[in-house]
């Protein structure tokens, strides 16, 4: 079943409304793979799931917030494969779990709530020590499916896109950076990747942040599009999402893909892309995260 999903063709939607002479824009619709296993998440999980299959673990353990696309994708994949799984959730037990955690629980994920402090310690530990757990223990997947195993999975994305060689620039939202790191590995000569961080990175930390990604010179990161930080939004961003959907028919989520699309339009308006450029925005999914917003904001 997961093989079928990862084998699906990825549709390309042209963006027609950003009339920048001599530049073509399009969106790769990874959001259409599946509502729960959407976007980049199945790819990042791919080799972790293989590792699980090849090892002798008692289950999978991973991390996320209350609206985490990664937790949802993991819960769904684990259920499809019959793998026991544990989700460590950032923040105290809510009085009423939101729809994302409700789905996770319904699909059999055991949820363990930890304080933000404890969460920070645990995720840092998982990132530092990587995936291996003792035989018979849980396979620990770092937050967001990051780490080398996740990067290798993300590198599967570009080769799946038909005519990928005709694009000069590939743009994506950056959370952990795993997807961008994966893209970076598969760039052809003369092809560039642009990452848009959705977390605020203060100027003094931008250098170390870039270094930590360890990407090639073909990959750049464009700061200033976090709209106040991770999970934050402004009226301007919501307005952009509404008009982008009205004009192009492409739904976005406010945490990741809306910020990447906004940044791309902004860069286009500034004349960042030279004549003849063909620019592909990766729609990395995550639409379910909009369930944390008041109902009725969007027509999708
Ligand atoms: C998780 C996620 C990202 C971030 O991917 P990273 O590999 O962590 O940088 C981007 N977009 C969406 C929709 C996501 O759910």
Q: What distance in Å separates the CA atoms of residue 121 and residue 224, rounded to the nearest whole number?
A: 28
285 in ligand 1 pocket by Cβ < 6 Å? yes
**CB 278 within 8 Å of CB 42:** no
Q: Where are the beta strands (DSSP E) in 8-123?
A: 12-15, 24-29, 59-64, 85-90, 109-114
pLDDT at 284: 98
Strand 24-29 and strand 12-15: the pairing is antiparallel
pLDDT in tens, the chain (300 residues): 899 999 999 999 999 998 667 899 999 999 999 999 999 999 999 999 999 999 889 999 999 999 999 999 999 999 999 999 999 999 988 888 899 999 999 999 999 999 999 999 888 887 776 555 555 689 999 999 999 999 999 999 999 999 999 999 999 999 999 999 999 999 999 999 999 999 999 999 999 999 999 999 999 999 999 999 999 999 999 999 999 999 999 999 999 999 999 999 999 999 999 999 999 999 999 999 999 999 999 999
pLDDT at 33: 96
pLDDT at 174: 98
What's the CA-to-centroid distance between 221 and ligand 1, angstroms? 15
pLDDT at 80: 97
252 in ligand 1 pocket by Cβ < 6 Å? no
Please state the pTM of the whole predicted model: 0.96
pLDDT at 21: 73
Nearest Cα neighbor of 100 from 72, 63, 78, 76 is 72
What's the CA-to-centroid distance between 83 and ligand 1, angstroms? 23
Cα–Cα–Cα angle for 233, 11, 179, rounded to 5 degrees? 55
Q: What H or E segment, with its residue span, contains residue 274?
A: none
142 in ligand 1 pocket by Cβ < 6 Å? no
Closest-lying ligand 1 atom to the alpha carbon of residue 182: 7
176 in ligand 1 pocket by Cβ < 6 Å? yes
pLDDT at 10: 96
**Gap between the terminal Cα atoms of the chain:** 27
Q: What distance in Å separates the CA atoms of residue 78 and residue 112, rounded to the nearest whole number?
A: 16
Q: What H or E segment, with its residue span, contains residue 214?
A: none
pLDDT at 130: 56
Q: Which of 48, 69, 290 to mutate to test the pocket of ligand 1 (most atoms within 8 A of CB)?
A: 69
Closest-lying ligand 1 atom to the alpha carbon of residue 44: 7
Q: Which of 37, 155, 173, 283 to mutate to test the pocket of ligand 1 (most atoms within 8 A of CB)?
A: 173
Closest-lying ligand 1 atom to the alpha carbon of residue 39: 13
What's the CA-to-centroid distance between 21 and ligand 1, angstroms? 30
Q: What distance in Å separates the CA atoms of residue 143 and residue 81, rounded to the nearest whole number?
A: 20
Place of tokens 């977390």: 199
Q: Which of 28, 40, 253 to mutate to test the pocket of ligand 1 (most atoms within 8 A of CB)?
A: 40
What's the CA-to-centroid distance between 284 and ligand 1, angstroms? 6
């Amino acid at each position: 079943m997961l093989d079928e999903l990862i084998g699906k063709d990825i549709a390309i939607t042209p963006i027609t409304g950003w009339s920048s002479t001599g530049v073509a824009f399009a969106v790769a619709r990874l959001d259409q793979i599946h509502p729960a296993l959407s976007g980049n998440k199945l790819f990042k999980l791919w080799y972790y799931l293989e590792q699980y299959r090849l090892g002798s673990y008692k289950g999978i353990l991973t991390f996320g917030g209350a609206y985490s696309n990664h937790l949802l994708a993991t819960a769904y994949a684990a259920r499809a494969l019959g793998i026991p799984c544990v989700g460590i959730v950032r923040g105290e037990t809510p009085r009423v779990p939101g729809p994302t955690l409700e789905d996770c629980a319904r699909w059999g994920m055991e949820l363990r709530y930890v304080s933000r402090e404890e969460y920070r310690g645990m995720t840092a530990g998982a990132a530092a020590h990587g995936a291996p757990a003792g035989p018979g223990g849980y396979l620990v997947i770092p937050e967001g499916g990051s780490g080398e195993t996740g990067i290798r999975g993300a590198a599967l994305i570009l080769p799946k896109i038909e005519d990928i060689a005709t694009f000069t620039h590939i743009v994506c939202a950056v959370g952990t950076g795993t997807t961008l790191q994966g893209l970076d590995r598969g760039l052809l000569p003369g092809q560039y990747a642009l990452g848009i961080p959705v977390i605020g990175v203060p100027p003094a930390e931008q250098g170390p942040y870039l270094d930590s990604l360890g990407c090639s010179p073909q990959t750049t990161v464009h700061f200033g599009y976090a709209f106040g930080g991770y999970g934050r939004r402004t009226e301007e961003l919501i307005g952009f999402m509404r008009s982008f959907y009205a004009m192009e028919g492409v739904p976005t989520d406010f945490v990741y893909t809306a910020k990447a699309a906004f940044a791309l339009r902004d860069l286009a308006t500034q004349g960042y892309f030279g004549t003849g450029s063909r620019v592909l925005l990766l729609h990395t999914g995550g639409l379910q995260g909009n369930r944390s917003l008041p109902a009725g904001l969007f027509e999708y």
